[in-house]
Amino acid sequence: MILKIITFNAAHGKGDDGKVSVIRQANFLKEYQPDIVFLQEVDMYTRRSDKINQIRLFSEKIGLPYSSMESNIVLEGGYYGDGIISRFPIAFSSNYLMPKTDPENEQRGILCNKISFGTTKINLFSLHLSTFEDERILAIQKLVELLEKIDPNELVIIGGDFNVGVTRLGKGKYVYEKKEEYEEYRLLKEKLSKVENTEDTWFSALGKGCIDTIFFSNSIKLRKFETIDVKGLSDHSAVYAEFDI
């Protein structure tokens, strides 16, 4: 079967115009008829997002009945983290907190879901890595440990904002350095294949770069992929991929 995947940093629904609306983001992504969507920077019940459960709203508007979200931090009276929405029932969900090198740095997590159809079992991971390289590498090492515990007969698909090349200089201040190879990707490529998208997926007044992508089991065949320009509905583009499962 063909499995359609999207990964998207929703920036809690905030577009370039300052308006916060996951409904218009969801309506845009719905046109691709995805089976699974990995989401990063999702709010649940925060004041800045009008106390909406954004993952549920994404699920409803895209038309995928199953959803999972885990909180990495408490924010503005609600929660903030990553999510997954799926056409298939979610049999298992867990969130693994990423290591931090400074207690003042933002807590991030690795959201893991497991789905199945027929005899096929797929482990899904949605992640939003740190803006500090040392923490990103520690997180990938943790992720590799999790991958090594998965039954070799099961499949893996990872979607996320990897923040490769990004360094946080201060609140709202970042610098981006493009490299031929990123250690974060190198470690994962020892286990998995990568969608080789190269178009910029992150845009800001301080920099831009290709930092969002998808990894997948070597036994899965990639049919095609595309970087989706979301027309200013977020400061990130989405990445779309089709697989033969």
d(CA 160, CA 128): 6
Residues 6 or more apart whose CB falls under 8 angstroms from that of 60 comprise none
Residues 6 or more apart whose CB falls under 8 angstroms from that of 66 comprise 59, 85, 86, 87, 88, 89, 90, 115
Tell me what pLDDT residue 16 has: 96
Structural domain including 199 reads: 2-244
Provide the CATH number for the domain around residue 79: 3.60.10.10
Residue type for 30, please?
K
List per-residue pLDDT tens for the chain, 245 residues long.
Answer: 999 999 999 999 999 999 999 999 999 999 999 999 999 999 999 999 999 999 999 999 999 999 999 999 999 999 999 999 999 999 999 999 999 999 999 999 999 999 999 999 999 999 999 999 999 999 999 999 999 999 999 999 999 999 999 988 877 788 899 999 999 999 999 999 999 999 999 998 878 999 999 999 999 999 999 999 999 999 999 999 999 99
Q: Which residue has the tokens 């939003």?
A: 128
End-to-end CA distance of the chain: 5
For 56, the token pair is: 């549920």
DSSP 150: S
For 215, the token pair is: 């990894």
Buried b (16+ CB within 10 A) or exposed e, 134-153: ebbbbbbeebeeebeebeee
Q: Please count the helices (runs of H) and the strands (runs of E) in the chain.
A: 4, 16
Tell me what pLDDT residue 175 has: 85
Task: Give which of 95, 98, 111, 213 is closest to 162, Cα–Cα.
Answer: 213
d(CA 157, CA 225): 14
d(CA 235, CA 8): 10
What total of structural domains would you count in the chain?
1
Tell me what pLDDT residue 90 has: 98
pTM greater than the 0.95 cutoff: yes
- DSSP string covering 25-69, please? HHHHHHTT--SEEEEEEEEES-GGGTT-BHHHHHHHHHT--EEEE
Tell me what pLDDT residue 169 has: 83
Residue type for 202, please?
W
